[in-house]
Amino acid sequence: MDQSKIDALRAREIPTQTHLIDGKHLPASDGATMDVVSPIDGTLLTQVVKGTAQDMTAAIAAARMAFEDQRWAGQPPQARKKVLLRWAELIEDNALELAVLGVRDNGTEIAMALKAEPGSAAGTIRYYAEALDKVYGEIAPTSGDVLGLVHKEPVGVVGAIIPWNFPLMIGAWKIGPALAMGNSVVVKPPETASLSLIRMAELGLEAGLPAGVLNVVTGEGAVVGQAMGLSMDVDALVFTGSGGTGRRLLEYAAQSNLKRVYLELGGKSPNMVFADAPDLDEAAKVAAHGIFRNSGQVCVAGSRLLVEDTIHDDFVRAVVKAAEAMRVGDPLETTTQIGAINSEPQLRQNLSFVETAKNEGGQVETGGTQILTETGGYYMAPTVVTGVRPDATLAQKEVFGPVLGVTPFSSDDEAVRIANSTVYGLAGGVWTSNLSRAHRMIRQVRTGVMHVNTYGGADGTVPLGGVGQSGNGHDKSMHALDKYVDLKTAWIKL
């Protein structure tokens, strides 16, 4: 990466950002805006329009009209593919601009942001562009005088509510397959990280998406998100975020049109290290990166470290060493390994978890404090807490910050019991040289994703989804398409 190019993009002024509805940039119906504060230095970056329920209704109406007149769904698969492939190219062509814009907005370190945001988004859009003409219906094995056909049709209007940690990556996980299957989409970006998603949607229009097929409405979740959830004209709602918001969206669906709701919620993922791990030094480094990259603001972060008691003390020392070696700083500096916390409220919440952990008997081995206060930004030292009981707050509640809780175990059965002792089931990991143990852990630990002798990094060819209160449905892979199609049976007498 060229630091001078990054610095030039950092210096750009950002005008007030508007909604993107029916192919047009529009202000809020009441003219209101929201400040966008950069977590890098705590300064005002720009403003985005503060949408109203009326604005969301207008965007949904535009999406409905675009779906009903078939301006997108009615195009041949090859035509839709051409547009999506062009969109992926434009995202790649503008990757550095998109990454820097996002970092200024949400604080992710630039090296990670460039790969995980525009890099991942372009790859996802391209994947579903290539997949869309390979989705076939079915012929049922009926009796000789009847032909049974199963058609796959778009659901209609899809509402997508996107989180602030990786808005482009997670946004593409939802927008890509939805558009590939011929749906129209309305996106509600996160309040604290809307800028890069707006720009990516603009590139979609430039690539040839018809007006109304992809709409973006900014604003508060309690207003525009609620309006989306309660709409009688949204056919499917996809969401990544907190369990509390997920519950409200289910309630809104019940109060309105019983729209299908797919949720990717929180996690408290266990990373289990056995004494026979093939490389304990590597395991310690990966465990540190698995929780501290992006300041722990990752849904699948390995936030619970379970360590076999015979190696506990030595392994903790290795993790602490790896954590303290990671450079926290300005996320737009290419040498930074850990960037900023997304917002001041999130930073305060992180620090409160550390205080609670200490009050419940945990010992802070490193970190636990705000740092770099002179910058005006929101930075926290990577934090390792030992002596965390399986029932402690730090072991049960998602922090969504750079805080690692460590718990010892003495047997395979105990490791499984601890791993399964939360309401979540999003991800997990196991480090062992014993192939039988690895397979037992994959089967017995209740998660949607299980890593063996690694942590993180799965690509778009495999699904991501959780069990328990980590949600339902899957992003990524061909399985994601299931959320965006309806099955229609044709029963034909011959």
Active-site annotation, residues:
264
SS3 assignment, position 484: helix
Q: Using alpha carbons only, what angle is made at residue 99 by residues 160 and 204, rounded to the nearest 5 degrees?
A: 50
Residue type at 168 in one-letter notation: L
How far apart (Å, rounded) are the C-alpha atoms in residues 249 and 258? Answer: 11
Which element (helix H / strand E) includes 161?
Answer: strand 157-161
Contact 392, 362 (CB under 8 A): yes
How far apart (Å, rounded) are the C-alpha atoms in residues 90 and 169? Answer: 15
Quick one: CA dihedral 41, 44, 48, 51, positive or negative?
positive
Q: Using alpha carbons only, what angle is made at residue 63 by residues 60 and 65, rounded to the nearest 5 degrees?
A: 110
* Dihedral Cα 44, 47, 53, 58, nearest 10 deg: -160
Beta bridge partners of 215: 186
CA dist 151 → 130, 139, 140, 234, 247 (Å): 20, 9, 11, 21, 32
Helix, strand and coil content of the chain, in percent to the nearest 5, comes to 45, 20, 35
User: Mind giving me the DSSP string for 417-444?
Assistant: HHHT-SS--SEEEEE-S-HHHHHHHHHH
* Residue (of 411, 417, 412, 366) closest to 390 by Cα position: 417
* Tokens 């219906």 sit on residue: 137
Contact 286, 389 (CB under 8 A): no
How far apart (Å, rounded) are the C-alpha atoms in residues 95 and 211? Answer: 24
How far apart (Å, rounded) are the C-alpha atoms in residues 127 and 120? Answer: 10
How far apart (Å, rounded) are the C-alpha atoms in residues 242 and 225? Answer: 13
Exposure string of 312-329, with b = 16+ CB inside 10 Å and e = fewer, is: beebbebbbebbeebebb
Cα 84 from chain centroid (whole Å) = 21
Q: Which residues contact 362 (CB under 8 A, 6 or more apart)?
A: 385, 386, 387, 388, 392, 394, 405
